[in-house]
Amino acid sequence: MAATLTSRPTSTLSRDRIRHEEARRTSIMVATVISEILKTMLGPKGMSKMLVTATGDVVITSEGKTTLEKLNVTHPIARILIDAAKTQYTIAGDGTKTVVILAAELLKEAGKLLDQNIHPTVIIKGYEEATRKTLEILELLSKPVSIEDDEALKNVARMVIGSRIAMDLQNRLADIVVIAAKRVAEENLGKIIVNLDNVDFTKKGGGSLNDSELMNGLIIYKGRPHPRMPWRVENAKIALLKCSLEPFTRKNMDWRKEYLIKTPEQLKEFIEGEKEFNRGVVENVKRVGAQVLFCRKRISESILNCFAEEGIMALDMTGEKDMARLEKATGGKIVSSINELTERDLGEAGLVEFRKISGNEMLFIDRCKNPKATSILIRGGTEHVVEELERIIKASLKAVAVTIECGKIIAGGGAIEMEIAGRLRDFSRTFKGREQLAIEAFASAVEAIPKTLATNAGLDPINVLVELRSRHTNGFTNLGVNAAKREIEDVVEERLVESYKVKQHAFKAASETATTILRVDDFINATRQKERGEEEKRLAMERKRIMDEKIRKLLEKEEELKQVDKSVMEKMMHPETI
């Protein structure tokens, strides 16, 4: 009896608990399912996914982070993988699919070792050693790149953009991305920092992809506030204010006062006082030579009218982010009061004008001198195209930014993974224990990247792996899969390079995610009994609602049933007739 109780323990949590082998098998299965969704999207020949949200919106994307965010998953292992991909995007911009695929492959290889009765602790130890060695190999094989090396940075951008876009547009977008990243780069304590918050994106459908452009300044969503105000100013001097311009302001509480006017002379005096205030504001702006004025707060209608009469372009209620970007783009300085405005505070722009894009009027601040903030105008035939193009540009911009900051690139096309796999197998022979098997499993998991690239390019993955292994053993470290040409080539010569930071963080994140999941041997549903009861009640009510809806539709279709239903309802309303 005691033996029976020991071998089959009972638990009050038995209904909400998955233990040991079953928990690990479930983890590997869930990770594999998520990975299979993303595998077909990897590389320049990867496919796109069509996602339909709960509200019926349709999203077509080839970007891993967007796909994972739209997935309606509740399993904790799936959530961990999605969080890993989100972190990868935040840190490096690219590599979200790589993280999930690598983590899932590491778990699959770990599953094979678990079937051989190798303890998870041993596997985790081997994976940690393999990760440390992998990062050393990455550092050794990386190549330096400077912020002045435009061609190398464009190659990084093109690698992220992929070949789903025509080559001429690829080059155009790569130019836009590199110039934008360099424009917002600043040196701080001897390090280059690229602040992508200073890059603004304006999306407009109804045009061609080739109409997308990088502004030498900013685009602001604002129409002309006054019909007589100028719509175009060349060689503009720009004033930036964060105060309100109106006679009665909330700051001094004048807006709450009541003015009792009894005579025409008092009315005339009041009107003249308001005009004098308006003239004072306009004269202050004219005195410093400003032709364009941006105000963070409200400008009264009467003052706007005065600005229009003087030919000054004035815009109020400008957003806080737009004001900060205007300061960086024009070289101006935001001042607190109109009386404090001086010529030294003015910014400059070669052209400020209103333009209509797809029927909407927007303000273009263009031809700025050495702007430290910029706008990218994204055009496309449909909203879906514009949204996807924005995602591509943002990912490539982040990848270029981290490349500038870390100053290193590595070979793409799966070449670096094949070289790492070969060196890890050699490294595993230095271990005498079972960790050797875990390091070899890590090497096999890493090869999933070139294998997937070959599969998506329509090549035989086994033949590709065999050839790459053989040639990497003979010292051809830069050989990888050129998916666009469907050939095995020297990827560095073909300009297929990636950011060192993207790949470094991808390996670290995938390994840490896999080892974290391997440490889990218990799934316990910690939801409170009351919450579970409420959820079951909600589901029961939903089932009843669906059944009632089905019955209603059935009664509408069947005339005979409708008559029976009508008869029953009448008897219920008049029971005395029964």
Do 489 and 575 belong together in one domain? no
**Total number of domains constituting the chain:** 3
DSSP secondary structure string, 437-476?
A: HHHHHHHHHHTHHHHHHHHHTT--HHHHHHHHHHHHHTT-
267 domain residue, yes or no: yes
Residue 153 domain flag: no
Q: pLDDT (tens digit, 0 to 9) for every residue of the chain, 578 residues total?
A: 333 333 344 343 444 555 567 777 888 888 888 888 888 888 888 887 888 877 777 878 877 888 887 777 778 888 888 888 888 888 888 888 899 999 999 999 999 998 888 888 999 999 999 999 999 999 999 999 988 988 999 989 888 887 567 667 888 888 999 999 999 998 887 788 888 889 998 888 877 888 888 889 899 888 788 888 888 999 999 999 988 887 654 444 444 455 566 667 656 666 666 677 777 788 888 888 899 999 988 888 888 888 888 888 988 888 888 899 999 999 999 998 888 888 999 999 999 999 888 778 889 999 998 899 999 998 887 888 888 888 888 889 999 999 998 889 998 888 999 999 999 999 999 888 888 999 999 999 999 999 999 998 888 889 989 999 998 888 888 888 888 888 888 888 888 888 899 899 999 999 999 999 888 776 666 555 556 567 677 777 877 777 777 776 665 555 555 555 556 555 555 554 44
66: helix, strand or coil: helix
Last residue of a domain, one of 504, 522, 540: 522
Residues 18 and 115 in one domain: yes
Could you tell me which of 516, 518, 409, 506 has the C-alpha nearest to residue 87? 506
Q: Which two tokens stand for residue 402?
A: 């981290």
CA distance linking residue 343 with residue 339, whole number of Å: 12
- Does residue 30 belong to any structural domain of this protein? yes
pLDDT at 238: 92
pTM of the model: 0.78
Q: Examine the fold and report which residue of 310, 325, 347 is the final residue of a domain before the chain moves on.
A: 347
Show the beta-strand stretches assigned E in 288-433. Answer: 292-295, 313-315, 334-335, 347-357, 360-366, 374-380, 408-411
Q: Which of 135, 170, 179, 88 is nearest to 376 (CA)?
A: 179
Domain with 65 in it: what CATH number? 1.10.560.10
Strand partners for 49: 61
E-assigned strands of 217-290? Answer: 218-220, 232-241
Out of 300, 323, 347, a domain closes at: 347
pLDDT value of residue 255: 44
569 and 481 fall within a common domain: no
The whole domain housing 51 covers 11-145+409-522
The verdict on 108 and 36 lying in the same domain is: yes
* Rounded Cα distance, 578 and 568, in Å: 10
Say if 365 falls within a structural domain.
Answer: no
Residue 8: predicted pLDDT: 40
Question: In terms of domains, do 22 and 124 share one?
Answer: yes
Report H helices in 519-557.
529-557
Same domain, 326 and 413: no
Considering the domain architecture, whether residues 488 and 563 belong to the same structural domain is answered as no
Q: What is the pLDDT of residue 577?
A: 47
With residue 17 as reference, give the H or E element that holds it.
strand 17-19
Q: What is the C-alpha separation between 374 and 199, in angstroms, rounded?
A: 5
The SS3 call for residue 497 is strand
Same domain, 518 and 555: no
Q: How many Cβ atoms are within 10 Å of 506's Cβ, its own excluded?
A: 27
Query: Is residue 204, in this structure, part of any structural domain at all?
Result: no
Dist. CA 230–CA 351, nearest whole Å: 12
Provide the pLDDT for residue 250.
44
Specify whether 499 is located in the same domain as 559. Answer: no
Does a structural domain hold residue 459?
A: yes
Which residues have CB under 8 Å from 340's CB, separation 6+? none
Taking the C-alpha atoms of residue 83 and residue 72, their distance in angstroms, rounded to an integer, is: 14
Q: Is there a single domain that holds both residue 119 and residue 27? A: yes
Claim to verify: residue 34 and residue 113 sit in the same structural domain = yes
CATH at 329: 3.50.7.10
Query: What's the pLDDT score for residue 48?
Result: 79
R_g (Cα) of the chain, nearest Å = 32
* Residue 189 placed within a domain: no
Whether 440 maps to a domain, the answer reads: yes
Same domain? For 29 and 137 the reply is yes
Query: What does the alpha-carbon distance between residue 203 and residue 181 come to, in Å, rounded to a whole number?
Result: 19
Q: Is 577 left (phi over 0), alpha (psi -120 to 50) or beta?
A: alpha
> Which pLDDT does position 130 carry in this prediction?
93
